[in-house]
């Protein structure tokens, strides 16, 4: 493709594309609510310090160009839920990353996680087809030398009981797109996540981050394209920077999703250990363990 063609590709507007919309039937809406309460695997979150994970769905090139470098400047890393079939295609989210760019993102320390190969709606294909498409994405990761994905995000947030059950065996964490209501628990089979979108949802995102200061927990954010004129599913680089500032201001630890999961699980194991061993004395000061202050009760 010559440069003129590339430019004209990048000049497409979101309105130039037919945007897929999952079923809005009453039945689909009801099922969408009910599935959140089925096949749950609840992780209680005990952390002294807020944890924030930034996730980017699909694989817009604007994330590679604008969002990841801004995170790297603060020595932070994020998670890309990549549908490899979108690489180098253009849709309402703009141009998508090349496979080489995906490799570079991995080499820079970002987590590359799964989002099916063809960006399938789990409720519009058979479970077999859905799984085969995930296998195809896995093979695409392997071909690029990327490690197997530990985490998966449901395209369009769409899921059903069967898919939730099967995928819970394949991944450590399955991410949804519904906003978190409960701050200290997360369903690992359909983890809530907060939209990081410019526009009407932006204030809610800032509020969710600020709320972590008084009630430390783990918040997963998600967005799509990060560019000057984003789609309705993305944000501007300016808004993205504002969110990075907010996260830094509350002193949060920023980790890719799977690393954050490991951190929360080790905090939990540590807290359990402390409880069961009947320590005495003051163990925590602020958010750090005072190693020299605790003694095991031998009596």
- Contacting positions for Zn ion (CB under 5 A): 57-58, 155
Given the complex with Zn ion, which of 124 and 182 has the nearer CB atom?
124
Please answer whether residues 213 and 50 qualify as being in contact, where contact means their C-beta atoms are separated by less than 8 angstroms: yes
Q: How far is the CB of 250 from Zn ion (least distance, A)?
A: 28
Given the complex with Zn ion, which of 50 and 176 has the nearer CB atom?
176
Given the complex with Zn ion, which of 224 and 264 has the nearer CB atom?
224
**CA distances from residue 127 to 120, 124, 201 in whole angstroms, order as listed:** 11, 9, 32
**Two tokens, residue 296:** 């095991």
Given the complex with Zn ion, which of 91 and 189 has the nearer CB atom?
91
Please answer whether residues 23 and 160 qualify as being in contact, where contact means their C-beta atoms are separated by less than 8 angstroms: no
Given the complex with Zn ion, which of 43 and 87 has the nearer CB atom?
87
Please answer whether residues 54 and 71 qualify as being in contact, where contact means their C-beta atoms are separated by less than 8 angstroms: yes
**How many Å apart are CA 71 and CA 48, to the nearest integer?**
23
Q: How far is the CB of 233 from Zn ion (least distance, A)?
A: 8
Q: How far is the CB of 186 from Zn ion (least distance, A)?
A: 20
Given the complex with Zn ion, which of 58 and 225 has the nearer CB atom?
58
Q: How far is the CB of 10 from Zn ion (least distance, A)?
A: 20
Q: How far is the CB of 117 from Zn ion (least distance, A)?
A: 12
By Cβ distance, which residue is nearest to Zn ion? 57
**How many Å apart are CA 72 and CA 78, to the nearest integer?**
9
**How many Å apart are CA 132 and CA 166, to the nearest integer?**
12
Q: How far is the CB of 54 from Zn ion (least distance, A)?
A: 15
Measuring CA to CA, which residue among 74, 35, 25, 40 is closest to residue 54? Answer: 74
- DSSP of 88-130, one letter per residue? T-EETTEEBPPHHHHHHHHHTT-EEEE--SS---TTTS-HHHH
> Does residue 277 sit in helix, strand or coil?
helix
**Two tokens, residue 15:** 């309105």
Given the complex with Zn ion, which of 59 and 260 has the nearer CB atom?
59
**How many CA atoms lie less than 13 Å away from 201 in the CB half-sphere?**
18
Q: How far is the CB of 202 from Zn ion (least distance, A)?
A: 20
- DSSP of 168-213, one letter per residue? HHH-SEEE--SPP--SSEEETTSB--EE--SSTTHHHHHHHHHHHH
Give the largest Cα separation in the chain, rounded.
79
Given the complex with Zn ion, which of 60 and 155 has the nearer CB atom?
155
Q: How far is the CB of 165 from Zn ion (least distance, A)?
A: 21
């Amino acid at each position: 493709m010559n440069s003129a063609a590339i430019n004209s590709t990048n000049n497409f507007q979101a309105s130039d594309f037919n945007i897929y919309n999952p079923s809005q039937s009453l039945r689909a809406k009801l099922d969408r609510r009910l599935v959140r309460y089925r096949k749950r695997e609840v992780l209680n979150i005990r952390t002294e310090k807020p944890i924030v994970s930034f996730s980017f769905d699909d694989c817009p090139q604007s994330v590679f160009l604008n969002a990841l470098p801004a995170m790297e400047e603060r020595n932070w890393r994020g998670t890309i839920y990549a549908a490899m079939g979108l690489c180098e295609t253009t849709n309402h989210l703009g141009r998508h990353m090349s496979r080489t760019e995906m490799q570079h993102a991995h080499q820079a320390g970002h987590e590359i996680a799964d989002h099916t190969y063809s960006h399938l709606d789990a409720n519009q294909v058979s479970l077999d087809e859905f799984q085969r498409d995930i296998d195809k994405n896995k093979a695409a990761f392997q071909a690029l030398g990327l490690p197997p994905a530990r985490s998966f995000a449901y395209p369009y947030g769409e899921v059903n009981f069967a898919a939730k059950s099967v995928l819970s065996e394949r991944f450590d964490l399955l991410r949804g797109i519904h906003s978190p209501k409960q701050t200290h628990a997360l369903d690992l089979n359909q983890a809530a996540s907060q939209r990081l979108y410019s526009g009407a949802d932006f204030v809610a995102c800032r509020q969710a981050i600020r709320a972590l200061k008084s009630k430390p927990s783990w918040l997963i954010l998600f967005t799509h394209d990060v560019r000057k004129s984003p789609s309705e599913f993305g944000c501007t680089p300016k808004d993205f920077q504002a969110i990075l500032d907010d996260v830094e201001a509350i002193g949060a630890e920023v980790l890719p999703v799977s690393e954050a999961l490991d951190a929360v699980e080790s905090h939990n194991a540590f807290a359990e250990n402390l409880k069961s061993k009947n320590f005495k004395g003051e163990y925590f000061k602020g958010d750090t363990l005072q190693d020299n202050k605790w003694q095991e009760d031998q009596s």
